[in-house]
């Protein structure tokens, strides 16, 4: 089966492409690095030609509130339109546990926007809401850092 993995060169996408290929699927890693861009539309039509399933594992390069929302909205719109045109039978996306319960997070608002575009597309879909993967621990620690210490152990002057 031809399965296109958008973001197939990323942390999760690259693992999925490998597993699908091991199972004998024609799995394509679609990402800017392989000539497929869901923001500009470059290479999208060609990549989706003949595909039965698309797995969206793309991530925004910038996580600032406005930029990340624009990324998931534009990418989602372009992708769903291209899938419809190509006759894709099923769309899968990886979202995050509790996305709709953290409206203060710009990133999670963007993931909800992505989910809503999928639900409204008319294409059969699966949205998997996962917790963060183990490799993400370093990033979480980095954002919670105050000098050499983590936020859970920082002195009061780091919190102001």
CA distances, 158 to each of 68, 149, 152 (Å) = 27, 10, 11
**Size, binding site for ligand NAP by CB under 6 A:** 26
The residue of the chain with the least Cβ separation from ligand NAP equals 10
Q: 3-state DSSP: the chain helix, strand, coil percent, rounded to 5?
A: 50, 20, 35
Stretch of 4-12, 80-88, 118-126, 151-159 lying at the interface with ligand NAP (CB under 6 A): 4-12
Phi, psi of 147 (to 5 degrees): 60, -135
Q: Which is nearer to ligand NAP, 63 or 90 (CB)?
A: 63
Note the residue count of the chain.
Answer: 160
- The reply on whether position 96 binds ligand NAP by CB under 6 A is yes
- The reply on whether position 59 binds ligand NAP by CB under 6 A is yes
- The reply on whether position 76 binds ligand NAP by CB under 6 A is no
Residue 99's nearest CA partner among 131, 70, 122, 68 is: 131
Q: Using CB atoms within 10 Å of the CB of residue 84, give its burial: 0 to 12 exposed, 13 to 18 middle, 19+ buried.
A: middle
The region that residue 2 occupies, defined by phi over 0 for left and psi between -120 and 50 for alpha, beta otherwise, is beta
- The reply on whether position 38 binds ligand NAP by CB under 6 A is yes
- The reply on whether position 58 binds ligand NAP by CB under 6 A is yes
Residue numbers 127-156 binding ligand NAP by CB under 6 A: 130, 132-133, 136
Footprint on this chain of ligand NAP (rule: CB under 6 A): 6-7, 9-13, 31-33, 36-39, 57-59, 61, 75, 94, 96, 111, 130, 132-133, 136
């Amino acid at each position: 089966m031809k399965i296109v993995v958008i973001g197939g060169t990323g942390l999760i996408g690259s693992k999925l492409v490998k597993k699908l290929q091991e199972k004998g699927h024609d799995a394509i890693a679609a990402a800017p690095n392989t000539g497929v861009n869901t923001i500009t539309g470059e290479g999208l039509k060609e990549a989706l030609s003949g595909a039965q399933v698309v797995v969206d594992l793309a991530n925004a390069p910038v996580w600032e509130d406005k930029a990340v929302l624009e990324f998931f909205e534009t990418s989602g719109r372009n992708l769903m339109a291209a899938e419809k045109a190509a006759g894709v039978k099923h769309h899968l996306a990886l979202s995050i546990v509790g996305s709709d319960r953290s409206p203060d997070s710009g990133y999670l608002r963007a993931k909800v926007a992505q989910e809503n575009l999928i639900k409204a597309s008319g294409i059969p879909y699966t949205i998997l809401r996962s917790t963060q993967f183990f490799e993400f621990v370093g990033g979480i620690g980095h954002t919670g850092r105050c000098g050499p210490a983590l936020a859970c152990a920082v002195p009061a002057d780091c919190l102001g």
